[in-house]
Amino acid sequence: MARATANPGTTMAITKDLIAASSTPLVLSILKQGDSYGYEIIQKVRESSDGALEWADGMLYPILHRLEKKDLVESYWGQADNGRRRKYYRLKKEGRRVLTEQRKAWDEVHDVLNKLNGGAPCSA
């Protein structure tokens, strides 16, 4: 569903498990910056990763709906600049707490990887 470009000309497939694990902290991090909507979230993921991480558009909405069910985010209807209805998502207090927890967990994994690789970049 998503592919990460390691170097021009070579592509490295990111496993579904890693995509699934990273999707929640990524979405929550984007919403921490401010309210957003589906299309914009996908664009931000693409831009933040310099195009390395491209989510399939279809996978985002089930994630957003799941986060809403878990009470981590809330949604409201607004209006797009073209006058159409647009659904925005906002981070809730519980979402901030979960994001903090998940960031700590990701940092720990990152530290372990760095230690095991002697601080060298993972591509070495």
Partner 1 sequence: MFRLDEEVLAWCRDVHPHGTDRQERIDELADHVYCEIRSWVEQGFSEEDAFRRATDQLGSSKELIREHFHSWSFRAQARVISWALLTGNVETLNKTLTGKSRAWLIIGVSLFFAALVTAVDRTFHTSEFTTGIFLAIWWTPFTILALVKPTEGDEDELTRA
Binding of residue 3 to partner 1 (CB under 8 A): no
**Alpha-carbon distance 114 to 72, whole Å?**
31
Binding of residue 16 to partner 1 (CB under 8 A): yes
The correct pick among 11, 57, 76, 114 for binding partner 1 (CB under 8 A) is 57
Select from 20-28, 52-60, 93-101, 109-117 the region that touches partner 1 (CB under 8 A): 52-60
**Alpha-carbon distance 110 to 12, whole Å?**
19
Binding of residue 53 to partner 1 (CB under 8 A): no
Binding of residue 39 to partner 1 (CB under 8 A): yes
Of 61 and 107, nearer to partner 1 (C-beta) is 61
Beta carbon of residue 117, minimum distance to partner 1 (angstroms, whole number): 28
Count of residues engaged in binding partner 1, rule: CB under 8 A: 19
What's 37-100 look like in SS3? CHHHHHHHHHHHCCCCCECCHHHHHHHHHHHHHCCCEEEEEEECCCCCEEEEEEECHHHHHHHH
